[in-house]
Amino acid sequence: MKILIVASYNKNRYAPFIVEQAETIANELRNRVNSEELRVKSEVSEVEWFGVQGKGIMGYLKAVPKLRAKIKECKPDVVHAHYGLSCLLTNLATRRVPVVSTYHGSDINEPKVLPFSKVAMWLSAWNIFVSQRNVDIAKPYKHWSLIPCGINLPQPWSELKDQLVEQLTLNQWVEGVLEKGKKHVLFAGAFDNTVKDPQLAMDVIARVNSEELIVKSGGVQLVELKGYTRDQVNALMYNCDAFLMTSKTEGSPQVIKEAMACGCPIVSVDVGDVKERTEGVDGCYVVPSREPKDIAAALEKAIAFEGKTKGRERIIADELTNELVAKRIIEIYERVKR
């Protein structure tokens, strides 16, 4: 089976979680060709890519001829598009090849984009939503599934400690990022990303830092999550005292699952599917309001938790590893393939 992935390439890279999902799907497809005889008789499973470089609906529409040419060239069995405008573009580029469309949140939550996503929903052979909240907003009209994106589970910190050279390097790097003598809160994004509402996070930290006990302990540092490798992100999540999300909108945020997998205590506003993902996990708190005082109170509890949560076990129990998610997506490919 050959799959063509369509996704934005505006930053000269694909979103890492889409790459990880596609790589896992490719591995699973290869594993299913499980004998040398079958390998000879059948076409080797592969995943190819088409990157969209353009912004807004007009930028995506201009990519239709190039995508048509790519589909004609690689002859995929299924085209899997990610995000609403890519889904619409793909459906406009082909009616002969079935299109599976995944909506990740911003394409549902943003009123300007939602109408284009809804057209894509009508046209697609199958729609995938990553959170129930987005399903409720979109009110899909055709075949659909609720499948949050999975993650690649990081090695447990106890195992990483055995890799002396790699761990020593990571420890030295972490020490250079985290200020000594402080409690450390990892922010769920870059400080220049307004959707993540960094100002609210800073207001929360300012309030926490005004508390007497926090001041005596050295105060709290808010750490920006931007420009790090996967290993560095995991190292920060293993070493920070808490993880903070104040986003205005989300779908099924990957960073929440990644923080859970690292056992990092979490504080978040009620956005996307964070409440569903973390419910019942000690050390994780979802705050119903966006008031700094309420979020600060929860953050103080998370910092005081002083230990690893059972988030990793929850991710496994909810079958949110990339391997298990890939199998569900491949079932959809097989269902729609002509």
> Cα separation of 155 and 261, whole Å?
9
Q: What is the pLDDT of residue 91?
A: 98
Q: What is the pLDDT of residue 208?
A: 96
What whole-number percentage of the chain has pLDDT above 70?
93
**Lowest mean pLDDT, pick from 37-51, 52-66, 75-89, 195-209:** 37-51
What whole-number percentage of the chain has pLDDT above 90?
80
Residue 281: which pLDDT band, with cuts at 50, 70 and 90?
Answer: very high
For every residue of 294-330, DSSP letters joined together read HHHHHHHHHHHH-S--SHHHHHHHTT-BHHHHHHHHH
Q: What is the pLDDT of residue 160?
A: 62
> Cα separation of 271 and 185, whole Å?
19
Apex 200 CA angle, 182 and 234, nearest 5 = 50
Strands 144-146 and 126-129: parallel
Q: What is the mean pLDDT of residues 169-185?
A: 89
Residue 258 has, within 13 A of its CA and on its CB side, a CA count of 24
Which residues have a Cβ under 8 Å from the Cβ of 157 and sit 6 or more positions away?
Answer: 238, 262, 263, 308
> Cα separation of 101 and 83, whole Å?
7
Residue 34: which pLDDT band, with cuts at 50, 70 and 90?
Answer: low
Q: What is the mean pLDDT of residues 1-12?
A: 94
Which strand ranges, in their side-by-side order, compose the sheet holding 144-146? Answer: 46-52, 2-8, 78-82, 99-103, 126-129, 144-146
Question: Domains in the chain, start-ordered, CATH in brackets?
Answer: 2-150+321-336 (3.40.50.2000), 157-317 (3.40.50.2000)
Residue that the structure tokens 């589909």 belong to:
71
8 A C-beta contact, residue 177 and residue 267: no
Residue 131: which pLDDT band, with cuts at 50, 70 and 90?
Answer: very high
Two structure tokens written together for 82 = 């990610």
Which residues have a Cβ under 8 Å from the Cβ of 261 and sit 6 or more positions away?
Answer: 151, 153, 154, 311, 312, 315
**What DSSP state is assigned to residue 272?**
T
> Cα separation of 244 and 230, whole Å?
18
**What DSSP state is assigned to residue 195?**
G
CA distances from 292 to 141, 190, 259, 269, 270 (A): 39, 19, 22, 10, 14
Which residues have a Cβ under 8 Å from the Cβ of 329 and sit 6 or more positions away?
Answer: 21, 25, 80, 100, 128, 147
